[in-house]
Structure 1
Amino acid sequence: MAKTLSFAALHFSVAFSLGWLLTGSWLVGGALAVIEPACNTVVFHFHEKVWKRIEARRQTLALPARPQKRTA
């Protein structure tokens, strides 16, 4: 959890710094520090859902076909 929190702090710091440096506005920097990571969190959720489907499809295609039962 400490690693996650430190990464979050770093992410907020970078977003704030870039917003402030590009615009010169503390308000814009602060808004970007909140909005950008929040948007990325939502996008990441959907990104993970898509990748889970891709991985499941790959596993399904990689499984050998089951032999069919013969009837007499």
Structure 2
Amino acid sequence: MSRDIIKTLTYLSVHLTVGFTVAYVMTGSLALAGGIALVEPCINAIAFWFHERAWKRFDAASANAGTRAIHALHPA
């Protein structure tokens, strides 16, 4: 198994443990804490996808602005 997969799985286990613990301390319910600990990473993954799309648009806009600035300084 690759190191990246092992790191991902260990991080997932830490994330789930922390999420479960915080939810349990706040609610006192094992069922509710378990649900939160399982649902939250799924919602987070969707949010991350939108976050990445926004950054790709930002990067593309920045690259285009840089290209325009270079052409303004050094016209063909």
TM beyond 0.5: yes
* Alignment-derived partner of residue 40 in structure 1: 44
Question: Which of the pair is proportionally richer in helix?
Answer: 2
Task: Count matched residues.
Answer: 68
After TM superposition, list the pairs within 5 Å mapping 1:1-72 onto structure 2: 1-63=5-67, 64-65=70-71, 67-68=75-76
TM-score (norm 2): 0.82
- Deviation string 1:1-59 (CA, Å, 9 cap, x unpaired) is 11111111111111100111111100011001111111000000010000000011111
Instruction: Measure the CA separation in 2 of the matches of 1:10 and 1:56.
Output: 34
Structure of larger gyration radius:
1
- Structure 2 gap ranges (5+): none
What stretches of structure 1 move > 3 A for 4+ residues in a row? none
Q: Does the residue aligned with 2:75 lie in a helix, a strand or coil?
A: coil
